[in-house]
Structure 1
């Protein structure tokens, strides 16, 4: 692909390639809300999540700070998309009414299985091979229509098949997140290389593609 010349563009979104998450939070009545999200980055044990400020997930986390962050395999993309235009909020706000519909039982709606958490109240998603339990430490509003949430990861759970045996390392050759890129869902493609600080390169006998 030539980059000899570039043109200025103004895309409506900047999701160049971010992981899809299913975020589980606790509603005021003790029930569970499950919401897809894809604005995410991490630093150490901290996650920074971007959420719609008028959504049920944001409302829950400003009142009840426990959450789980669950990373679905690409084969679950249709489950993610199925609740993309639903909200746990009722009544649905005027701003959302044209697009969103209320759905109280999102686990049941999708046929996904709630899995009891150990350190927070909201359940994990059993079908997701990688799961975090976390606690909100700070929220920042006023970022357009969004709420920025900083959460500390308290515990990480992984299916054995994605862990390098005998270690605490996720095997990136066995683990495949769902990547959201310009409103399309993707899996991972061919691996091309790794950082020298990789915990798993020597353990997985990876050879870069020539």
Structure 2
């Protein structure tokens, strides 16, 4: 039933000060809030419980191979039983995915330089959906700062140019890109 959405790469801080990068595509946003759904037994959830700060990085469609390099990796030194056979521990996901770090301005986890959209966020709430190891946690985060590459920014700097931005979409186990505009919302259009 997973129809998917934009891929996000979450960066959180491990106990030893290193960073974990987790790919995901269970997100939605409303104004400056982002809701994230992730595995309850993940390194990301453990990190956010200890330090409720993260960066949410949105890769372009051309980055699908870097995202795929992360898909079978876990930041948990002891791979959880429900992930055994499908995941392996990787302490340096930056290197494994060939990604570069940029320092954040307001949170401790870094941002992914290659991602055209990078958000610094603070966790406001978490909700455990299922206690089983394969269960899920819903995280609501408030975006404190957003960084957009010039190549996709509107000329006036007031947002993202949807004709320039090609997000990576994950849908039914397939990496996709948005092809073209088929219509435009009339409410709230600038004159």
Q: TM-score, normalised by structure 2?
A: 0.94
Counterpart Cα distance in 1 of 2:189 and 2:157:
10
Is the counterpart of residue 182 in structure 1 residue 172 in structure 2?
Answer: yes
Counterpart Cα distance in 2 of 1:131 and 1:113:
13
Aligned-partner SS, 1:68:
strand
Aligned-partner SS, 1:95:
helix
Aligned partner of 2:58 in structure 1 is: 71
Aligned-partner SS, 2:137:
strand
Question: Which of 11, 16, 29 does residue 42 from structure 1 map onto?
Answer: 29
Aligned-partner SS, 1:70:
strand
Q: TM-score, normalised by structure 1?
A: 0.86
Question: Which of 131, 135, 144 does residue 154 from structure 1 map onto?
Answer: 144
Aligned partner of 1:197 in structure 2 is: 187
Aligned-partner SS, 2:82:
coil
Matches within 5 A, 1:71-110: 71-110=58-97
Aligned partner of 1:7 in structure 2 is: none
Where structure 2 has 5 or more consecutive residues not aligned to the other structure, the ranges are: none
Q: Deviations over 1:35-70 (max 9, x none)?
A: 100000111211100011111011111111110000
Aligned-partner SS, 1:76:
helix
Where structure 1 has 5 or more consecutive residues not aligned to the other structure, the ranges are: 1-12, 203-210
CA RMSD of aligned residues (A): 1.3
Aligned-partner SS, 2:81:
coil
Q: Which entry has the higher C-alpha Rg, 1 or 2?
A: 1
**2:11/2:110 contact within 8 Å kept:** yes
Question: Which of 46, 49, 65 does residue 59 from structure 1 map onto?
Answer: 46
Aligned-partner SS, 1:108:
helix
**1:169/1:199 contact within 8 Å kept:** no
Counterpart Cα distance in 2 of 1:92 and 1:98:
9
